Amino acid sequence: MRIAAPPAFRVVLPIGFAQLIGYGGAYYMPAVLAAPIGRDLGLPPAVSFAGLSAALVVSSFMGPRVGRHVDGGGARAALVASNVCFAAGLAALAAARGPWLLAIGWLVMGLGMGLGFYETAFAALTRLYGVGARNLISGVTLIAGFTSTVGWPVTALLNAHFGWRMAILFWAAANLFVALPLNLLLPAQPSIRDDSAGKASSEPDETTDGRDDTRAMVAVGAMFAATSFVSSGLSAIMPNVLTEFGLSTAAAIGLSALVGPAQIAGRLAEMFFLRRFHPVTPARLATLCLPIGVFLLIVGGAAFATPFVVLYALGNGVLTIIRGTLPLAIFGPRGYGRRIGLLAAPSRMSGALAPLLLGLLFESSGTAGLYLVGGLNVAGFLALAFLSGRSRDVR
């Protein structure tokens, strides 16, 4: 017997806030605490970023297996387990007196990322609502889009008053006592909401053959990997990028603060204006935002730093939604969890390598770094051309 899906807001709000806590304590935390952790333990700050990279690599290998588990109705269990892993990993970081416990903590956090980041949340929504999950995915990313806006100030405030260990333990407690109960609100055995969605999720798509399906998967995966490299790299080093083009450190940090609000603006635009189009259209627009900003910054210098940051963030905000909605529109809800897990693997791997590689490149040549990130987004735009025959919503 098919279980009726609950009202959308009762699912989107808990998942969105649980994602905010998960990302805030794991992905965004090193940007604030890497330096104090390094000073206290006598280690370079890069150790914390290396730990984050290692965690992302671990998570990349878990995607397909976790996706199959979610396809079988295990979304709630995966999300809850992720909060336990985050709490355990953060507790290990807080207790560390040297590099070994730090390494263990980050590896456990990698398990949490593989179990409970966006891809699992998107698959859970698709399992519940079928092809109607597009707007719900946008809603979750809109809430979680405030992670940097909330997470960085909270972490910095706790570090200033109580030290980095208590700041980390705060995020561990938030995962256990806030995010975990929120994820428990999901139905235990989610099912597709209506018969048409159920049919799409259990029967093969007869309109395409295996080669077309593989070609589309490769194209989407290539676009995700290219844009993930850019997003992860620039998010980590944006102030350094801006100082390379003449801004003071204070001005660069202040301007980088525009990234969060501009990403929210991009997601709102996708929800209220671009939703009428097939997701491949906003994907194409989003991949072209950064190359335009790169051109302006190279030609005009520091005077065009603000358009560069805003265009990057607008595009990145839309692309976060596209990671969930484009596979749903192209392939349908059947096997969505496994597909999105496969697509997430190369993007997480490229995202893990990006901060280090882009940081080294921008130290050598800021212009070369801009050409690379702009070129990768153009490559992502070109990859979408291979989807022209699949640019239709699954009905």
How many CB atoms neighbour CB 247 within 10 A? 19
CA–CA gap between residue 122 and residue 113 (Å, rounded): 14
Domain boundary among 134, 163, 198: 198
Higher pLDDT: 389 or 82? It is 82
Asked if residue 218 and residue 161 are part of one domain, the reply reads no
Q: How confident is the model over 59-75, as pLDDT tens digits?
A: 888 888 888 888 888 88
Mean pLDDT of 232-249: 81
Asked if residue 265 and residue 142 are part of one domain, the reply reads no
Asked whether residue 193 carries a pLDDT value surpassing 70, the answer given is no
Residue 21's pLDDT is what?
95
Mean pLDDT of 48-64: 86
Asked whether residue 390 carries a pLDDT value surpassing 70, the answer given is no
How many CB atoms neighbour CB 303 within 10 A? 12
Asked if residue 123 and residue 269 are part of one domain, the reply reads no
Mean pLDDT of 149-163: 88
Residue 159's pLDDT is what?
92
Q: For the chain, how many structural domains are there in total?
A: 2
Mean pLDDT of 232-236: 81
Q: How confident is the model over 117-150, as pLDDT tens digits?
A: 888 998 888 888 887 888 888 889 888 888 877 8
Higher pLDDT: 393 or 63? It is 63
What is the number of alpha carbons within 13 Å of residue 305 lying toward its C-beta?
22
CA–CA gap between residue 173 and residue 220 (Å, rounded): 37
What is the number of alpha carbons within 13 Å of residue 20 lying toward its C-beta?
24
Asked whether residue 198 carries a pLDDT value surpassing 50, the answer given is no
Asked if residue 277 and residue 149 are part of one domain, the reply reads no
The number of residues in the chain equals 395
- For the domain that residue 214 is a member of, what is the CATH number? 1.20.1250.20
Residue 194's pLDDT is what?
42
- Closest among 66, 39, 31, 48 to 153, alpha carbons compared: 31
Asked if residue 121 and residue 210 are part of one domain, the reply reads no
Asked if residue 350 and residue 314 are part of one domain, the reply reads yes
Asked if residue 210 and residue 119 are part of one domain, the reply reads no
Kindly state whether residue 60 falls inside one of the protein's structural domains.
Answer: yes
Q: How confident is the model over 357-374, as pLDDT tens digits?
A: 887 888 788 889 999 999
Asked if residue 267 and residue 249 are part of one domain, the reply reads yes
Asked if residue 86 and residue 20 are part of one domain, the reply reads yes
Please, which pLDDT band fits residue 284 given cuts at 50, 70 and 90?
very high
Residue 285 vs residues 138, 229, 238: alpha-carbon distances, Å: 17, 18, 22
Kindly state whether residue 2 falls inside one of the protein's structural domains.
Answer: no
Asked if residue 116 and residue 230 are part of one domain, the reply reads no
Asked if residue 49 and residue 169 are part of one domain, the reply reads yes
Domain boundary among 198, 227, 252: 198
Mean pLDDT of 201-211: 48
Question: Residues near 325 by Cβ (< 8 Å), separated by ≥ 6?
Answer: 134, 137, 138, 279
Higher pLDDT: 86 or 131? It is 86
CA–CA gap between residue 204 and residue 109 (Å, rounded): 36
CA–CA gap between residue 276 and residue 323 (Å, rounded): 17
Kindly state whether residue 319 falls inside one of the protein's structural domains.
Answer: yes
Q: Are 171 and 25 in contact (CB under 8 A)?
A: yes
Asked if residue 169 and residue 229 are part of one domain, the reply reads no
Structural domain of 126? 9-198
Residue 44's pLDDT is what?
87
Residue 3's pLDDT is what?
54
- Give the start-end residues of each E strand in 254-314: none
Kindly state whether residue 1 falls inside one of the protein's structural domains.
Answer: no
Kindly state whether residue 395 falls inside one of the protein's structural domains.
Answer: no
